[in-house]
Each structure stands twice: as C-alpha cells, then as structure tokens.
Structure 1
C-alpha cells in the first residue's frame, strides 16, 4: 500500500506542474481598456497568482469586489468620467451628420485635447496621493509584489513601478504618446502608417508625405497633452534629469494587443509579445430566447449590430433610418441598442440592452457584424470569420476599420452620409459578394493557426518576468541615445566631414603640384 501511495505521488509530481503563486499589482486604465485587462487578471488568478488592482472610488468599470482580485481603492477623482465621453460621442455624431465646417471639427478636436489634458492631470493627482500616503506606500512595499501590470494609455502604473523598483509589464496597444510600437520599435514612416492616419503599408509619395506630417503633428500634440503633468511628476519624485517617457520605454515586457492578420507587417523588438485576440474564445450556447430567435431566421441567417459601450443610443432620425433598412432585409437582426425604440422597427429586428457578442459571432447562423470598429469586436469577428459593415464614430475606430477594408473583409460607411438606402446597399454588398466572407474566413484560419494560444503566451511571459525579476536581456537601451545618435547623424556627419577633408587635401595637393610644375616650366623657359 505504501508503494502504491508513493507511486501515485510520484506520478502526480511528474505530470502535474507545481504552482508557484506570485503577487501582481495592477494599475489599469478605466473604461473599455479594463475589459482587456480583466481577461489577464482572471487568467492570472486561475493560474494561482494573487492579484491586487488599484482603482478609483469613482471607477467607471472596475468593481471593488471580485473573486479574482483584491482592490486598493483610492478616494481621489481619477477623471474617468463616463458622462463626458458619452456626451462627447453624441456631439461627434451631431457634427459629422450636420457636415459641420472644418472649424467645427477643429473645435471638437481641441475639446477632446483639453479633456485628455485634464484626464492625465487627474491620473497624476492619483499617483501623488498614493506616493504621499505613507501607510499605503508601506503596505505596497511590505506586500512584496513580483511585478506591476499596467496599461500605458496612462502613466500611473509606470510611475508606481519605478517608485517601488518592480519589473514592469504592459498590456498595450496605446501609450500616452500614441500607438505603442512607435515608443519602442523602429518605425520607418515610409511603410509604417501612424494610427489613426487610415493609411496602409503601401503608400504613394504624397501618402508618405502625409504620414510624416501627421506623425510630426501628432507627436507634438501628445507631448502638449501629457508632457507638463508627467514631467512635473517625474521631476518631483525621480529627479529633473529623468525623462518621464524613458520610464515607459524601460518597461520589461510589452504584451501587445495586436495580431498581424490585423496589423501591417513592421519591425519589432524581442520584448514585444503579441497577444492580439487573446480575449477571443469558442462560442458558448446562447440563452434560450436568443437561440430561438436565431433559429427562426432559417436559411437567410442573422445580422448582429453593436456600436460599443459608448454609443448605446443614436439620434432618433438616424436610428429610424437604420431600423428601416433592417426591416427591408430577409435576415433576422439582433441590435444592441439602449435608446428609445425606433419608430420604424421591423418584425425581424430584436432590440436588446446587452448581447453575448462573442457567442453570437461564433454561431453558424450569423452572417454579418455591424460594428463601430472597436478592437475587441474586430478581433472577435476575425476569430469567428464574420465579415463587417463598419460605422466608425471616434478615436481609433476609423483606422481599425480601414485596416479591415484594406484586407477585403469590411465595408466602411461614414455616419455623415448614412441613410436607409446606403446602409441597406452596404449590407447587401457584403452579404452577396462572397469575397468578404471568404477573406474573413482566411484571416480567421491564420489567426487561429498558432502553436500557443495568445492568452497562454501572455500569461507565460508575465510569469517569466516574475520568475526572473524582469527581462533585461530582451530590452534595448536605444531609448537612452540622443536622437542624433539613434539615427547615426553624428556618424554620418563625421564621415562626411572626413570625406570632405580628404577631398580638400587632394584638391590642395593637386593645386600644389600644378603650381610646382608651372614654376619649373617658368625656370626652364
């Protein structure tokens, strides 16, 4: 019996991996970004790690209690104002549909700039509150965390990791300076388009010119928005010689929410780990009422529509146009919509406040996805092979959809031109032209054909950083170089100077020899 028990224990020791639970401190970015972060948090918890999430008392998305993490609630206004963003999106729709002047759009951009300026100011105030709270800082130090996991769309987690001296892992697509690759990886503007320019990797001369001008203006704008706040914070706690953005670039690991079925090919770095679509998973059975509705569609199938959390409702006349277009289609429609019921709503259309989007996209009866172009929805559509009709409104949505359009899997509409006829024609084009579905199913096969699932890859690398106290061997020190050294302009100048000196030397030598020959000739004469 003893031998039998020993054999069982030996078998378990060999075939069941030992869990070494670590401690991860998470400083998330609120709003829809938390949807991505929560997936990582829940998976880390599932793997036996202890996760602590820092949240604001007025947090928009992050619950104070959860079976998957503990929280540290900071009683400071974090600037995550849901009402503002909803009002802002409504104003964007209004201006676009009224075909407002360039000045109106510029004023709207400036309003958004001011809002993000205030948002980062509030985030810095949260960081100062944490740093100045001696009891809180003592508890953070005493907890002996193994790593900080953060979204670099704000700089709070970056500052905290540096202050605590902990390895830093990013869950990233954006930083405070825009698209994350541009912060860490070589990014030749000749073929790497800067989001949200809506350009591709095959640019004409004038598109390359546009890309460079766009990059220059955007970088200047980003620094105006975030620079004053994070520079002051960095100078206050780390010294005036520490550039705040170098703290971002020094991160150990960049978990990038990107897959190259979506992103255009581009240079990258060893500490950039790609996990695009990590939130996607096989579809689960639908709730009974939805399954019955889907099954009632017959051979025509179902269209689903969701414009994300920020766009829960639309202007009444626009909602009526969309509803009217749906009513003329043979397909059944499931529309996530929180506004008033449209006056023209067909019997084929089901309005719901919330939908199990991933599970619906994975249902074999779903033929088309009408989307605003958020990255979560796009990756779920890719994963399940469902083509898209896109209605971008704000932020990176138009750029995301432009990438899908370039790959032949999406038809993109401008909300300023949208009416029932245009909308219906776009839907019928995508449904009736087989290439949209064929191309999307091809992307789906590419996306799924991976040795390791994106979520498993992400968790492995987080644990790698925890085990090895960082990933210094994967990090480049190039960000510490001045810009002229990074681009080797000093070397080029040195070589050109030497070449010029050599040329001058030979010119002077030839001149001297020529004069010497002239003198000898004069003497002989």
Structure 2
C-alpha cells in the first residue's frame, strides 16, 4: 500500500513539473541541434510537438521523442539545389577569375533563400488560416515556443499564439544572432564571414564596417518583404517584424567564448556551446577493429558535412592520394564514386559516429569542412583540425580556429596531393596544434553546469514564469538615433553652442559698454 501511494505521489509530482513545448525548427544541419534539445526535454517528461513541412529533409514525422504536426505544404527548400550549389562553387573556384559566373551563382543563392523564406511565411499563413489546425494547437495549451530563428516562422506563430519564446540560435534571418540583440561595436567585434579577429587594423575596421552595412542590407532585401507582409497581415503596420525576434525571452546561444571572440552580451543570452558534445560511446565492432589496427599511428577522421558526401573526381583523387601516404588509418565519410587513388589505409563509410570517433584515444586529426557542430566536437575532444571550408560560415569558423593555433586551412577547390599531405603531417606531428587544442578543451569542459542542463533549465524557467521579461532590454523598441544617443548628443552640442554664443554676446556687450565709457572718463 505504501509503495502504491508513493508511486502515485511521484507520478503526480512529475506531471505538475512537466510542460508542453511547441517546436518550429529549421531543417538541415540545424535540426541536429534542435533534436538534441528535444530528446533531453522528452527525457525530463515534457510533451514536445514539432511542426514540420511535408517535404522536410531530416525531420521525421514519427519519433519516440515528440509528436509531429505535418503541414501539407512544401516549405523546407530544395536540398538538391544546395548540394548542386556547393559543387558549382567548387567548380568556379577551380576555374578562377570567373567573376560573372560566381556573381550569378551568388544571386541565385540569394533568390533561393528568398524563396525559402517566402514559403515559410506561406506555411505560417496556411497554419493560421486552417481553423481546425490552429484551434487544435491552441487547445493543446502549450507553455512555450522553441524555435530556431534562422527562419521566422516560429517567431511569428509564437506571437500569434501569445506564447513565450525561446531561441535555439546562432543565426537569425538577419545574420549572426549577437548582432540582432547585443551591443556590437564594430571597432573590435568582427562581423562573421568577414574573416577578421578582434584585433583589427584601421583598414580592417573600415572593411568590417562596410561588410556589416552591405550584409545587413542584403539580409533585409532577402527576407524583409516576406516577413513584413505577414506581420502587417496579422498584427498591423505599426509592428516591425524584427521586433518580434528581438523580444524573445531567452536566447540559447550555440557557441561560447572558447569559440567566440570576447564581446558585449545581454542577460537573456545563455551560452550553451558544446551542448551536443558528450563522452564517446563504444564504436561499432567493424569501426573499432579498424581503429585498433592503426597501432601507435592512430587514425584520421574526415567528414565534409551533411550536404557534401563526395567532391569532384579530380579533387577526390588528390585527397585520396595524399591520405594513402599517411602512416595513419583514415575513416572518410564518402558517398560518391570510389576514388581511383584510394589507399588500403582508408575506409569509406556512408555515415560515421563523429562524436564517438573524435573522442577515441587513437584519433589524431579531423579533416573538416568547418561546420559549427564539428568544430565544437573537435574542441571538446581536443582534436586538431585540417580545414577544407566549402560555403556559408565555414571559412569564418575555421579562420577562428587557425587564429587560435589549432587548425590549418586549405582551399579545397585548388587542393593538390603534396599540399594536403604536408598540411596533414604538420597538424599531426607539430605538438603545438594538439597542445593548443587541449587547452581549449579544458576551457570548454570547465563549466559549473553542463551546457545541455543549462539549456533545459532556462526553457523550464520560461515555462514556470510564463516568460522572462525581466531579462529583456527594451532597446529594440528605440529608434536608431535614440539607441545611439544621437538626439542627446545633438541636444548637448546645441546647449554648448548656445552657451558659447550667449557667453560671447555677453562679453561683446560688456566690451562695447566699456569702450563707450572711456572717452567720457578722459574728459
């Protein structure tokens, strides 16, 4: 009887603490991060509902960790296009001096991104206008919206449903997240993608400023019209769509200051860098046997991300030929045609357990495209990097690692066997790379609370308190001139000018009076 009562009490206690979480994710590699949070939330007893498009790349309709709402709408973008885009970028970089071709491809990418955001807005309209669907979402009485602001669908839907808002974020629709919410002095805060550090020369600061202005203009051009129209449709013309982003309760930032350069931040930004990293699990038997066969030389891991399973044949052959000359064994995620120069020391796999391999004691180096997830896992496990950046933020991510002395970076489009081999041998055999990376690893692991636990705490905090308004600054509601105190500076300058003019007038008046009295005094 006692055990039955105790069990019921525990169940009731858990049910009180558990909440309902509505998730509007971003597809592609961003889903990897979001799914990690969802699994942990589910393990804590929370009920998670994921909104997904019918053409989703990676977000499964059925999962043991969440229920899904599949919207009969194609809004996830064209995965085939982005894969083709990567290969075309490599081709242009190989040809060199093809400015017009590169410009045309870049414009095509911007067009595709604009189209993707337009479809997301249409998907939100489809959800809201479907009375049965929106009513069922309301009736679920969700406690919070968890979303990735790389698209704005979750942001606008949260405002429509009057739900507290938590971001799982590094990028928003306007670029890197800090620049959307935190003070970001361009004198020492490098704009991502500019490939700069926090120690800039005068001309680098000029470049940083111009790069920021141009990028912000492009971001607004690409997404602004779509979200403004949607915002105007449901919330009226007086509400700027980006204010809804800036009004989010908590920003779970997927990086930290082991990766980022020091910069100002805000009280509602919570740093959860490496939250997806964890101690390695045992490898599958075939991989473990291959790794153990490497002996004292160890293994090299190579993966170029979810969008790139293979490279053009000539590049693949140069890379394979270099890998064949290493004394190390190599595990290479490769889904294309087998390179003709592949050595016996290299295993090709369709998929690899990246975290577990990076955490293996025999791993010596990681050949990476520079995605944030892979870089953070390398830092966590202390594995130096040979970078082969392809597109998007990868060049900037790897330039940060190069600056910290834990990576060397090559141009994959013009790679040549001897250059790649030399870079690999240098990173593996030069102790400073490993030493510097182990220092970063110690910093990354030395935290009072595991990042994943911190993320879950703050999501639950928002659920308990129906938001986190006390942590939100109201600066986003200020005009640009008020935010930068231009009006105050102008007022004070006016006061100084008027005071100076008044003082000058008084002195001039006194001097004139004195000059007028002198002749009479002489008489």
Q: What's the TM-score once normalised by structure 2's chain length?
A: 0.97
1:523 deviates by 3.0
Give yes or no for the alignment of 1:364 onto 2:361. yes
Per the alignment, residue 238 of structure 1 pairs with 235
Per the alignment, residue 438 of structure 1 pairs with 435
1:423 deviates by 0.4
1:97 deviates by 1.4
Q: What secondary structure is seen at the aligned counterpart in 1 of 2:49?
A: strand
1:518 deviates by 1.1
Q: What secondary structure is seen at the aligned counterpart in 2 of 1:511?
A: helix
Post-superposition CA distance 1:380-438 (Å, at most 9, x none): 11110000000000000000001111111000111233110110011011111100000
Q: What secondary structure is seen at the aligned counterpart in 2 of 1:162?
A: helix
Give yes or no for the alignment of 1:152 onto 2:149. yes
Per the alignment, residue 226 of structure 2 pairs with 229
Please tell me whether the aligned partners of residues 79 and 118 of structure 1 are also in contact (alpha carbons under 8 angstroms).
no
Instruction: Give the Cα–Cα distance (whole angstroms) in 2 for the partners of residues 204 and 17 of structure 1.
Output: 56
Post-superposition CA distance 1:30-77 (Å, at most 9, x none): 111011100001110000000000001111110000000000000111
Instruction: Give the Cα–Cα distance (whole angstroms) in 2 for the partners of residues 352 and 104 of structure 1.
Output: 34
* Corresponding residue to 2:23 among 10, 23, 26: 26
Unaligned stretches of 5+ in structure 1? none
Instruction: Give the Cα–Cα distance (whole angstroms) in 2 for the partners of residues 435 and 324 of structure 1.
Output: 26
1:102 deviates by 2.8
1:19 deviates by 6.1
* Corresponding residue to 1:188 among 180, 185, 189: 185
Per the alignment, residue 294 of structure 1 pairs with 291
Per the alignment, residue 127 of structure 2 pairs with 130
Give yes or no for the alignment of 1:393 onto 2:383. no
1:112 deviates by 1.1
Q: What secondary structure is seen at the aligned counterpart in 2 of 1:360?
A: helix
Per the alignment, residue 116 of structure 1 pairs with 113
Please tell me whether the aligned partners of residues 148 and 168 of structure 1 are also in contact (alpha carbons under 8 angstroms).
yes
Instruction: Give the Cα–Cα distance (whole angstroms) in 2 for the partners of residues 277 and 477 of structure 1.
Output: 30
1:99 deviates by 1.3
Instruction: Give the Cα–Cα distance (whole angstroms) in 2 for the partners of residues 47 and 140 of structure 1.
Output: 22
Q: What secondary structure is seen at the aligned counterpart in 2 of 1:276?
A: coil
Please tell me whether the aligned partners of residues 53 and 76 of structure 2 are also in contact (alpha carbons under 8 angstroms).
no
1:449-464 → structure 2 map (5 Å cutoff): 449-464=446-461
Decide which moves more: 169-178 or 512-521.
Answer: 512-521
Please tell me whether the aligned partners of residues 393 and 415 of structure 1 are also in contact (alpha carbons under 8 angstroms).
yes
Post-superposition CA distance 1:167-193 (Å, at most 9, x none): 000000000000000111110101111
CA RMSD across the alignment:
1.5
Q: What secondary structure is seen at the aligned counterpart in 2 of 1:303?
A: strand
Per the alignment, residue 421 of structure 1 pairs with 418
Please tell me whether the aligned partners of residues 173 and 257 of structure 1 are also in contact (alpha carbons under 8 angstroms).
yes
Instruction: Give the Cα–Cα distance (whole angstroms) in 1 for the partners of residues 158 and 115 of structure 2.
Output: 23
Please tell me whether the aligned partners of residues 121 and 229 of structure 1 are also in contact (alpha carbons under 8 angstroms).
yes
1:152-301 → structure 2 map (5 Å cutoff): 152-301=149-298
Per the alignment, residue 353 of structure 1 pairs with 350
Q: What secondary structure is seen at the aligned counterpart in 2 of 1:219?
A: helix
Instruction: Give the Cα–Cα distance (whole angstroms) in 2 for the partners of residues 18 and 148 of structure 1.
Output: 19
Please tell me whether the aligned partners of residues 29 and 154 of structure 1 are also in contact (alpha carbons under 8 angstroms).
yes
Please tell me whether the aligned partners of residues 143 and 163 of structure 2 are also in contact (alpha carbons under 8 angstroms).
yes
1:100 deviates by 3.5
Post-superposition CA distance 1:419-474 (Å, at most 9, x none): 10110011011111100000001101110011111000000000000000000000
Per the alignment, residue 58 of structure 2 pairs with 61
Instruction: Give the Cα–Cα distance (whole angstroms) in 2 for the partners of residues 214 and 290 of structure 1.
Output: 45
Please tell me whether the aligned partners of residues 97 and 415 of structure 1 are also in contact (alpha carbons under 8 angstroms).
no
Q: What secondary structure is seen at the aligned counterpart in 2 of 1:25?
A: strand
Give yes or no for the alignment of 1:329 onto 2:323. no
1:519 deviates by 0.7
Per the alignment, residue 481 of structure 2 pairs with 484
Q: What secondary structure is seen at the aligned counterpart in 1 of 2:188?
A: coil
1:63-82 → structure 2 map (5 Å cutoff): 63-82=60-79
The count of residues paired between Structure 1 and Structure 2 equals: 519
Q: What secondary structure is seen at the aligned counterpart in 1 of 2:252?
A: strand
Per the alignment, residue 42 of structure 2 pairs with 45
Please tell me whether the aligned partners of residues 383 and 437 of structure 2 are also in contact (alpha carbons under 8 angstroms).
yes
Instruction: Give the Cα–Cα distance (whole angstroms) in 1 for the partners of residues 293 and 96 of structure 2.
Output: 40
Post-superposition CA distance 1:283-341 (Å, at most 9, x none): 01111111111111111110010000101111001000000001111111110001100
1:110 deviates by 1.1
